[in-house]
Every structure is written in C-alpha cells, then in structure tokens.
Structure 1
Amino acid sequence: MRPASERVGWLARRLLLLLVGVALVSLTGAGVYQHSYAQGEHSLKAATNSRLDLFATVVEARVRRLEPVPATIQLNPAVLAVLRAPDPARERAANDYLARLNAHLGSVAVYVLDVLDVRGVVLASSNVAERDDSLLGEDVSYRPYYLEALAGRSTRHFAIGSGGQAGYFASHPIYDGPRVLGVAAIKIGLDALEQTWPMLAAPALVADANQVVILSSQPAWRYTSMAPLPAERRVDLQLTQTYGSLRLPQFPIDVRLSVDEDTQEVQGFVSGDEARHREALGAGSNRAGHLVLGRSLDGMDWRVLIFTSLSEVRDQALADGVGGAMTAAFLILLVLYWSQRRRIERQKLAAKRLLEQVNADLERQVGLRTQELTDTNEQLRREVAERQQTEQTLRSAQDELVHAGKMAVLGQLAASITHELTQPLGGIRTLAGNAAEFMRRGNHAAAQDNLSIVARLVEQMARIIDPLKSFSRKSSASPGATDVGRVVEQALFLYQLRVRHDQVRVDNRCAPGQWTAWCDANRLEQVLVNLVGNALDAMRDADPRVLTLSAERCEVAGVPMVALTVRDSGKGLSETDQRRLFEPFYTTKPSGAGLGLGLAICRDLAAEFGGDLQAHNHADGGACFVLTVPVGPAPDTAKDTPSR
C-alpha cells in the first residue's frame, strides 16, 4: 500500500492529467469553433455585402437617375415664360409640359415654384388634374429643398408630402441670367423599392441623414429614430414638416454601429439582451445573435442596414467544434491508454519493495511521533502547573497589596478615628456616673434618660466602626451589582474629619441608587479611597478647596459603562506626571509620604472587573481621574447576586 503522501501525489498527478486533457479537448474544440465561426461569419459578410451592393445599385438606378431632371426644366421656354410673366395661358402651357415630363419619367410629381417675395408658391405642377393631391398655388417655402435652391444650390432629401405620401425630393434653382427666378422640384416615389426587400432575404431598413428609418421590410420599424434627436433638431423637422405630423418613436432594437470612413461600409451588432428583441427581429430571431451590416448610398445621405441571423454560422461552428473536440479526446485517450499500460508494468515490478520500505518507514515515524507527543504532553502539564502557581502567587500578592493599602489608609486615619471616638466615650463615662447617682437617689426616670443617651452614643460609635471593619476586611474579589453612590458615601465617610479640618467643600453628584456597576464593592471602595485621598493631598495648598464627584453613562467598544469622575481644584498634573502617573513607584508626593504604588494598583483593580482608570487636567484647573466600570443590572434584578 502506498504512503498517504504518495497516494495524494498520485491522485494529484492523475487529476492534473485529467485537467490537462480536458483543457486540451476544450481548447481544441474552442479553436475549431472559433475558426469555423470566423470563416462562416466571413462568408456571411461576403454574401450579405453582395446583396447590399445589389440593393444599392437598384436604389440608385430607380431613384438617383431622376436627380438631374430639375436642372433641365429651365431649358423649356414655357417654364421661363410663366416665371417671368405669369398668366393663365402660360401656366397651362407649363402645366402641360410638366405633366408630359412626369408621365415620361414615371415620377410622382414635377412642379415649379415662384420665388416672388421669397415665398415658395407652386406656380406650375404636373398633377393639376389630380384635385386632391395638386400642390398648385400652395406655399411650400418651409421645405428644405426650396430654401437650398433659393440660395442657388441643388439639393435632394427625403420628406413626406402634404398628401401624406413619402418621396425623394430633388430641386434645382432656375436662373434668369444671374438671378434665381424660380425653383424646379421633382418628387420621386419610393413604392418600387418595397419590391426589392426579398432580394436581401433578411430584415432590412433604409435610414436617412437624420437616422430616421424611412423604408423597411418590417412595417413596425418605419418612421422610428435610431438615435436620440436633440430638441432643436426635432423643432427643425417639425417646422419643415419633413416627416409630417409623425412623432418618431425610438427604434425598437439597440444597435451599435461603426462606419469605415474609407469604404463607407457599416458594421455593428445588436446590443443588450437580444431575447427581448426577438419579437422585433421577426420569426427568424434566435439566441445565436445577429450581424448588422450596412452601406452608405453615394450622394444620398442614406444608409441601408441588414440584420442577418448568425444561427447557421453558429450551428456549423458548434458541429465543427464538437467534432474537433471528439477527435482530440480520442487521441488523448489513446495516448493515456498506452502510457497507463507501461506504467502498470513498471509498478508491478517495484510494488513489493516499495511496500516493505514504506511499512518500515511508517512504523519508525509512528514511534518517533509517539515519543515526541508524550514528551510534549509532559512539558505542557509542567508549564500549566507552573502558570497556575504563578497566577495564584500574583493574585495573593495583589490581595496583600490591596490589604496593605487599606491598612495604610487606616493608619493615616487613626488620629481622626480616635478623635471621633473620644467624645462619645467621654459622654458615656459622664452619663454612666450620673445614672448611678440617680439610681442611688431613687430617681429612676432621670437614670433611664441618661442610659438612653448612652445607647445612642454607642450606636454612633458603631456607625463609625462598621465602615472601618468592612473596609479593613481582607477578601478576594467577588463581582456583583454594586450601588456606586453608596460606595462613594462610604469612601467620603473615612475622610469626613480631614474634610472638615482642611475646610474642603465636597460636591457629591453620585446619589445612592442612581448608578449600578458590576464589580467588587470592597475593591471599588479601595480605588475611590485612594483617589479621594490623592485629591485631598493635591488641594493641601489650594484655595478654594473643592472636591467634585460625578458619574455618567458611556460606551467603550460597544459595552455600556459608568464613568465615575473625581476632580480636585489643585494645581493639576504636569506633562511628566501624566506620562508616568501609573508607573509603579512613581509618586508626586514628598519623600517618605508614599511608595507610588497606589494608582498602579487602582488601575489593575479597575482592569480586573473590566474597567479602566485615566487621568487628565480639567479645562478650569485641577486634575480629573475618570474610573470606568461596567454597568450592572438594576438592584431589584440582582437580589440573588452577591455584593459587598
């Protein structure tokens, strides 16, 4: 049996060979498909261009052959005579000439316009006998062919006549010497071109210079705009009534065209989702796509486009591609079969030796790995035990430091505590003696009053001693729902004598029951006692002395917090103090007044219950210490939670 790494390598090689084979087959099929498609498309283009050339020849033969006619009309004396001096007899003569000319040419109408007062009034026309469609006497000065001829230029363009019949108009100025005396115009019908669509064998159209479809094998395409018309251009077309009163909707198919400036050949494609153009392209439309080819008709500013389906080209290319891919696959399989047989023969000869060697190596590696794992597990157990012992030692040291800090504070407060207890003790001694004397005299009521006063003094001493007992108790951290305002009151109580002695005004904005934090109450009190004591030390030489304690809610990294601020009115912190304030053994107090561990321990205690301790100078003077503590549940929802 092969080793796992060799099996993976063998499978990887087989997979690689399979992928290479599939890639070769795919590339061969794709190459044959592309080559066949390119050849088919080239042949289709050649055939389509031939049909386009034939169509262009037919259009030029049926339309452009009559373009020179307006230039010859002025050669007839009857036309010049009616323009020079119009009268009924001359008009009849001119009309008869134009009617004979129109019948001979097979055009829709031939007429002559007068330019008197720059008004294009039809003075003579070939269709006078047709009462419904005669232009005789009409003013067509708004037509572009009149305006161009009036300026001395021959012109030709497409337009819809006043009778609603579309046609190709050509005009030429009629000169009387150097002066333009009139305009000769001919309207060439386009109905004959409709019979030429079958020769294109595909949907096709003819667009004029405005890119408006004027002729098409698809009736729905007629009089649609293949490009957006600017507003000013639409106004010009309406004024000249080139397309009558038609609104010219957008062409139903998105077509992107490119024009070869040298050959004037047009080539493009149907853009966007061709499936939604299937109805517009007709029954022959499919998912193969359409090739758009076109030709610009010489001298007419017209463009003929043909939409040729690529389905036959694609089907033939697919058939060729599949055949090429199958041929490549057969050759690859033949090569693989021959290679596989040779490989199997070689593997049979070396299989036994390789198997024995692999087994031996595997057993040796397993033994080595087993011993390494055993040694590693033993080392991990020793490291875990050492870390647990180190963590326990650190926690004990921290508890000792906290307790030592408490004892140091109690030592500093010993004198004030003694003074607080001396007065009640003296009162008790006096009242006890008075009670004994009243008892001896038999005045029990007075003795009872004295004893009641003694009881109240004892309760007062208990209220002084109880916070000290709770503060000095050595205990480990036990987080719970803690009333921040109550802890603040207890911390201030320890300094009440010093506050009165130093005449410090305390502004305590932390009322009990307002803020609830999740921490150990005893350790929170230790931090506040340290901060309040430092604030009182900082205000020793200040005037006035104001100690402000406030709290507010905030969020740190999305965690709700209570921010407790202790602010003094001292001289504030220097840049060095702010940079090194929380370093162990760094202190701003005189030598012998402190070890510089208080703030470092306070920050560690704050971090222990998920908070932090920061310091900065207030804008109005003095230092601010901000203690952030996680918000705890309301007291009524934490009755079962142990707190201190």
Structure 2
Amino acid sequence: MLMSPPNERDRLVAKGPWIAFAVITLAIAFAAFAGAGDIGRSRAIATTQARAEDAGTLALAILRGELEKQRALPVILARDPDVRAALVGGDRRALDLKLEAIARETRAAVIYALGKDGVAIAASNWREPTSFVGSDYAFRDYFSSAVSGGAAEQFALGTVSNRPGLYIATRIDEGEHPLGVIVVKVEFDRVEADWRALGGQTYVADKRGVVLLSTIADWRFRVERELHPQAAAEIRQSLQFGAAPLTPLPMRRDTGVVHGFGAVMGGHVASRIPFPTTDWQLEVLMPVDKAIREDRSELQTLVALLLMPGAALGALALRRREVNLARRSAESRIKAELERRVDERTAALAGANERLVEEMAERARAQERLSHAREELAKANRLATLGQVTAGVAHEINQPLAAMRTYAENARAFLGRADAAAADGALGKIVGLTERIGTITETLRGFARRGSGPLGPVDLGEAIAGALMILDAPLRQADIVPQIPKLAGPVLVLARPVELEQVLVNLLRNAIEAIAQQWNGVPPLEIGIAPGPSHVSIAIADRGPGLDDEALAALFIPFRTTKPRGLGLGLVISRDIVTSFGGTLTAKGRPGEGCVFTVTLKRAA
C-alpha cells in the first residue's frame, strides 16, 4: 500500500519533539559541565591547599632546625674563657683561629666578638679581605639591644659582605658589668635550596611585611603590601636592608587564590604559618592552574561519559515514540525502516558500551598502578626511617653485644669443661644484657618522641652492676678488678635507669682509659657509695695520671678535651643528665695519683 509523502507541516510537527529534546539535553549538559568545572576547581584548590600546608610544615621545620641549632652557639661561646680573655686584652689571634674552626664545623656564616664599644676584636673571617676585625658595629640594633637586654636577633644586609642574614647576639658579662657581645651571623642559602625541593615558592616576611628569605632571589627585601613613605624612609635610613627598593611583590590576592606575575605567573594557593619565637610569617605559594585544568577535565569527561548513555537512551525513547506515532499512518512502510534503525542504534549502543567498559577497565588499571606506587613510596619511607633507627640502636647496643659475645664464649668453654653452674651464670648475664638492649631500644623510641620520662626510684647497685656488665670486656683486657663496696640492702636514688647507667659507663670508661695510660702492676679502680639522710654520693676513683688545676677548670667546658679523638662533650652531657636528676657531678684531681669523680643524687623513699 503506497503512502502519500509527508507535507511541510507534518515535517515541522515531527521535528518539534527532537528540538525540545536537543534543548533539554544541551541545557542539562551545560549545567552538568559547569557544575563539574566548579567542583573540579574547588577540589583542585583543596588538594593544592593540603599540599601547600604540608610543604609549609616541612619548610618551617627546616628553617626552625637550622635556626635553633645556631641559637645555642652564642650562648655557649659567651661562657667560653678564651672569649672572655680576649675581651680583657688576651690573645685575640688565638680567638680568631678558634672562631674560624667553630664556624667551619657549625656552618655559621661568620662568628665575631665585639668589645663594649661595638668594635670587632676577633672574627672567624679574619683571613678574608672582607674581615670584620676592626669594624665598628655600635650602630647595629642587635648590638645595642644585646647590651641592654642580654640577647638580641636582627635580620639585616651585611654592610661589608653585602649578604643578608640573621644576626644572633649574646652579651658577655663580668659580674654586673658587660665585657662585650658575641655575634653569630646565619645565612640561609642552604635552607632556601631545601625549600625549592618542596615545590612551589616559599618566602618569610617580618611583621612589617618585608620579605627576608625567599626561593626567588628577586623577591628578597620586597614588601607584601605598599609601605607608608615615612616607614620606608626609616627602614632605608637604618641601613637594615641596604638600598633595597622595598617595592610590593608581583601578586594579587583574591578569595582562595593568589594571582602572580612575572616569575610566578598564574594562580597559586597560599599557606601561611607563623614562625615560633619570632615575629616572622612563612608562606608557601603552590601553583594551582594545572591542577584546576586537570580536575575540571577529569570531572567533565566523567560527566560526558555519564550523559552519553542517558542521551542515547532518551533519543531512543523519543525515536520509539516517533516511530509508534508514525506507525499509525504508515505501518507497512516504516516497519522495515524501523528494524534497520533499531539495529543501527543497538550496534551504536553496543560500541559505546564496549568503549565505556574499556575506559572503566583502564581507570581501574590506573588506580591499581597508583595504589602500587603509593605502597612503594610508603615502603621506601619505612625503610628510610628504619635505617635511621637502626643506626641509633647499633651505636647504643654495640658494647652490650660485645659483652654478650664474651659471655657466650665463656659459656661454651664452661660447657666444654662440664661446668654447668658457671655456664648457667654466663647465660644469665646474657639474658640480663638482652633486657638491657630492650631497655635501650625503648629509650631510643622515647627519644624519637622527644620525651624524657619521669624520675623514679633506681637501685644504685643494679645500675653499677649494669654499667660493669657493659664494660666487662674493657676491664678484663686492661686486667682491672674494680673494688665495689658491699651494701647491706638496696640503695634507691631518684633518676632514670638508662641515663644513670649511661653516666656511670662514661665515668668508668674514662677511668679505664686513664689507668691504661699509667699502669704499674695492679691498676686499682674503686667505686665508693656513701648514703646520707637525703642524698647518696657515688665516688669513682682511679690511679691514673690525674689532672692539674687548669685541666680541672676546663673539664666541663664544651669542645675542650685532652683525648686525641675526643669531642669534649662526654662529661658535659653526663653533668647535664645528673643535673636533670636534681643532682651534681664534681671532680677532684690528684696530679700523679689519679682522679675522683663524685655523683650526688637525691635519695628515694
């Protein structure tokens, strides 16, 4: 049966539903794409903000570690007798050499001593053309502030070196009168280099908004906001930053995003952290434009993948409706055409479905690769941490392991002679040493948490026995039999077990080395215990070469030692430990006869 061709009106009526469908589909697609773009932007900003905060935390830790390390240096040097002697007319060339060596070891930019008039009398850079020796620094704020307040810090541009740095100054007193000021200049080139490895841009500004440190050299001594002309003039007149222009940073801050220009073109997310103990502010700028583009593209692609099947199904439904309506007037003509179109649509949907399944499988594989990479990174981090802990444990348990090997060899020899009692005693000591190693590892873990632990009752006899057990091999090699008093019962003192044992091992090892230098027959080593009503004294006496008055006076000064390979810190650390217990560590010298080190601790109930 032949059907008459459709007229123009019929064509317009037939196209109406398709036009409405297209308008609705485009509106939904536009809204979905716009929403996906907004969500992608917000997600990218949030992710980048977290990265910026993590980078800021790391950058702050790097800067704080360097600064705290250098802050201790002028405090220690202020008590150094060589510095005091040079300020009152002593050997200043010797002080130049000493400051030069300390600056080299601590990586300080320069260390110099100022007289009370502000003139440098000695400096670590005395050999260089830009030597500070003889220069007058009385005009510097850090000098006047240190003289009046005892200590001061100032970030400024060097007038001689023309290099920026932080000047840390400490006053040196003689009674109630100041002798001078010791100054350590810290430069942060190494810190800024470490910051660059974190990604993004990092800088530090003072309370006036002047940039002091930055991963971009051109930003140094620029300002975060326009300064009042009078304030800018006062800064330039003080010469704190030389002839710096004090121009604003090339950036504009909007809500949530910082727009940069020049070297930092584009959008950035900022994370600002106050720096403790100073009026500085550390800020990290992390680029966000690429992350926004990637997140937007990812979400919009996902929206497209979700809309395509829906649009296809909608179109199919609309087409079915159209076909059903047309079937009423031309069923015979449309039937074959409808079957052909249904087959084409089915094939198209099958292809789209296959592509969608393949893309989903590819995303699953990418997620699996990402999870694997994260696991590998976590494993590498755990291995790095394990390496650090292993190094600390190996250093601390070296002597207990050596003692365990000696006792194991003795036990094997006793078993060979069928001496079960002696073998059992050696094995018991090995068990005690394993407990000692366990205690050491627990202490190292406590150090990682930066905790000291509370004081408690410690059996002095057990602490001495543990120290002698660790030093068993050196004692036997030197043929030394220490004289130990017999106690009627436990003597308890307030301390921490491992740290008390550390002090005893250090003092006994020094005594063994002293006796080894002067040995004539039976080298005596005596440990004495004198309990009192509220305190207990432990005396360790040797018959080594002894110490004269000059050596005794420098005994507890850092970096002063008579040992060829010593650092001069063992007795200083031991005294600090005993002081933290509320006790004292003293020494008496007997030239030609030996030394006596006395530890006095509070007695525990």
Give the TM-score of the pair, scaled to structure 2. 0.47
Between structure 1 and structure 2, the one with the greater Rg is 1
Give the TM-score of the pair, scaled to structure 1. 0.44
